[in-house]
Amino acid sequence: MRSLQSDTGPDLVLDHLRYLRIRLCARAATRDLGAEIGALFDVLSAAQDTYLNALAARVGTTNEIQALDGDLDSTMARLAIRAKGLVDNKLDDPRYAALFSAPPSEAMRPVVDASQTRFVRQVIEGVAKDPLWASLQPLADQLGQDLQAVDAAVQVREPQYVAEGTANAALATACDAARWAHNLMPSKLEILYGTERKRFIDSFFKSTTTRAAQATAAAPAA
């Protein structure tokens, strides 16, 4: 494949560059060209590793946030059940309505947003204000700890988004440079070997349709 399309991803670009580098470095006349491709291969490989590491870090923190948010939801559910018991399950009791500005199951549905955070803080403050809820204080304290854990994880994730975006941009730049160099190589080889040696020049570029590739794919296991 002499030309890589603009939407060819890093994995495939690296695969083609690896093949091209090996072919170029195998001949003295093209060894310097092989070194150029090798350098681009190394840059792209490093850029991909950096991006994948940044992506994994951000995804990992997001998964942690979701788990911590689940802990927060569970604590709120336990507190709400206890609160209903203290008002004889009368959800229209003014004291219950004052504690919960919305049904807890609905208010806690989002994963870590401003409305959920406000709701949790309102409940914590409400428990502290009314003596009726004194027995709920340990759960309110746990709510505060759970919320702090979620907030801390969110703060960790913010710079991870930036790092992921920066790494993704660097990967795109490296991939563009690698594709450009790969696609320019046929012209360089034609200057070196002549346009009449088309089949020979084609052999420098990986193709899944070559006879050699087909033979390898069809070869029985040893």
How many structural domains compose the chain? 1
pTM for the full predicted model? 0.83
Residue 37: its pLDDT value, please? 98
How large a percentage of the chain has pLDDT more than 90?
A: 89
What is the rounded average pLDDT of the residues 78-96?
Answer: 96
Residue 42: its pLDDT value, please? 98
* 75 within domain boundaries: yes
* 85 within domain boundaries: yes
* 101 within domain boundaries: yes
Dump pLDDT digits (tens) for 171-215: 999 999 999 999 999 999 999 999 999 999 999 999 865 444 433
* 5 within domain boundaries: no
* 125 within domain boundaries: yes
Dump pLDDT digits (tens) for 138-174: 999 999 999 999 999 999 999 999 999 999 999 999 9
**Residue 57 predicted with pLDDT over 50:** yes
* 220 within domain boundaries: no
Q: What is the 3-state secondary structure (H, E, C) of the chain?
A: CCCCCCCCCHHHHHHHHHHHHHHHHCCHHHHHHHHHHHHHHHHHHHHHHHHHHHHHHHHHHHHHHHHHHHHHHHHHHHHHHHHHHHCCCCCCCHHHHHHCCCCHHHHCCCCCCHHHHHHHHHHHHHHHHCHHHHHHHHHHHHHHHHHHHHHHHHHHHHHHHHHHHHHHHHHHHHHHHHHHHHHHHHHHHHHHHCCCCHHHHHCCCCCCCCHHHHHHHHCCCC
How large a percentage of the chain has pLDDT more than 70?
A: 93
Tell me the pLDDT band of 217, cut-offs 50, 70 and 90.
very low
Domain coverage including residue 80: 10-213
* 1 within domain boundaries: no
What is the rounded average pLDDT of the residues 74-101?
Answer: 96
**Residue 96 predicted with pLDDT over 70:** yes
* 176 within domain boundaries: yes
**Residue 81 predicted with pLDDT over 70:** yes
What is the rounded average pLDDT of the residues 72-93?
Answer: 96
- For the chain, the average pLDDT equals 92
